[in-house]
Amino acid sequence: MVAQRLDGKVCAAEVEKDLLSRISACVENGVQPHLAVVIVGDDPASHVYVKSKVKACERLGIRSTHVGLPAASTEDDVRKIIGSLNEQDDLHGILVQSPLPSHMDEESLTDLIDPMKDVDGFHPQNLGRLVQGRMDGMLPCTPSGVMRMLSWAGIETEGKTAVILGRSRIVGMPQSLLLGSKGVDSTVTVAHSRTKDTAELCANADIIIAAVGRPEMVTEEWVKEGAVVVDVGINRVDDSSRERGWRLAGDVHPDVAKKASWLSPVPGGVGPMTIAMLMENTVRAAEQSIES
């Protein structure tokens, strides 16, 4: 079997196309969707991510405000910025780019974002709704992007066994809630760094979502013939054959394509979906500001 490509670029382009008419409707109501991205420090990868988000805003006609702070800024500096962005009526989404410098407490800063503007979906009120099985809050972008991609490809989830590799607040944990939610109805196992029989769990799974941050950890032997494999991982690995000396690798070995029925590529899989979902959350926040 050769896996079909779970093409995040194509799916994200469709999501963005659908957003255009919603954005026009907002503008007709006198509201231009507006996203603020706060970045602290000079981590090169974070700056690349922020650039892609700002570019997506430009493509769609979403206004973006980029707030860049030096690495030496204090947590209080970020608090003040979040406070003033919360107050800004013409601004609908606030994203604080992760990771923050180690002297800052990311979670307590997330707590300060107005839940209605929490387009990352990490505020306890939004994550709490997800735990309750309510899908009416802001859903975290990466796991909701994975769900959208599965549904776009027509992949059946009901009654399937799914293994999520990773239990982070940002990806693995919300992913497990979404896949196990009513209406999606997979039976979910979450594996983490202390799980003993990870390879065996995967070998019995219909769906594997890898969100670990370990290059090419999931090998062909771990995967059942015909399984659906989604690779969330983005890892930079040395590669002297490339001019720049490195390449991007996922958490899944490319040979898995020989056994899986579907496999998402890295890059071009979950990454573009994450950005598309961020755009969708921003538009939704703008729509809600019109309704309220």
Active site residue 117: no
CB atoms within 10 A of CB 62: 24
Which of 194/244 has CB closer to ligand NDP? 194
Q: How far is the CB of 231 from ligand NDP (least distance, A)?
A: 8
Q: Which of 3, 235, 272, 236 is nearest to 141 (CA)?
A: 272
Which of 7, 53, 160, 231 does the annotation list as catalytic? 53
Regarding 166 and contact with ligand NDP (CB under 6 A), the answer is yes
Residue nearest to ligand NDP (CB): 168
Dihedral sign (CA 271, 272, 274, 275): positive
Q: How far is the CB of 9 from ligand NDP (least distance, A)?
A: 12
Query: Which token pair is 138?
Result: 């802001």
Which of 7, 118, 120, 251 does the annotation list as catalytic? 120
Look at strands 228-231 and 207-210 and give their pairing: parallel
Q: Which stretch binds ligand NDP (CB under 6 A): 75-83, 132-140, 147-155, 192-200?
A: 192-200
Q: How far is the CB of 89 from ligand NDP (least distance, A)?
A: 30
- Binding-site member from 62, 138, 211, 286 for ligand NDP (CB under 6 A): 211
Which of 7, 97, 231, 251 does the annotation list as catalytic? 97
Q: How far is the CB of 182 from ligand NDP (least distance, A)?
A: 24
DSSP 101: P
Q: Is residue 205 within 8 Å of 162, Cβ to Cβ?
A: yes
Q: Is residue 165 within 8 Å of 251, Cβ to Cβ?
A: yes
Q: What is the DSSP string of 148-200?
A: HHHHHTT---TT-EEEEE---TTTHHHHHHHHTSTTT--EEEEE-TT-S-HHH
Which of 69/248 has CB closer to ligand NDP? 248
Q: Give the ranges where the chain is alpha helix by DSSP (H).
A: 8-28, 44-60, 75-87, 106-110, 124-131, 141-152, 172-179, 198-203, 270-291
Which of 53/117 has CB closer to ligand NDP? 53
Collapsing DSSP to helix, strand or coil, 24 comes out as: helix
Which of 47/192 has CB closer to ligand NDP? 192
Active site residue 97: yes
Q: How far is the CB of 126 from ligand NDP (least distance, A)?
A: 17
Active site residue 288: no
Q: Which of residues 167-186 bind ligand NDP (CB under 6 A)?
A: 167-168, 170-172
Regarding 192 and contact with ligand NDP (CB under 6 A), the answer is yes
Give me the residues that bind ligand NDP (CB under 6 A), please.
Answer: 142, 165-168, 170-172, 191-195, 198, 211-214, 232-235, 270-271, 274
Q: Catalytic site residues?
A: 53, 97, 120
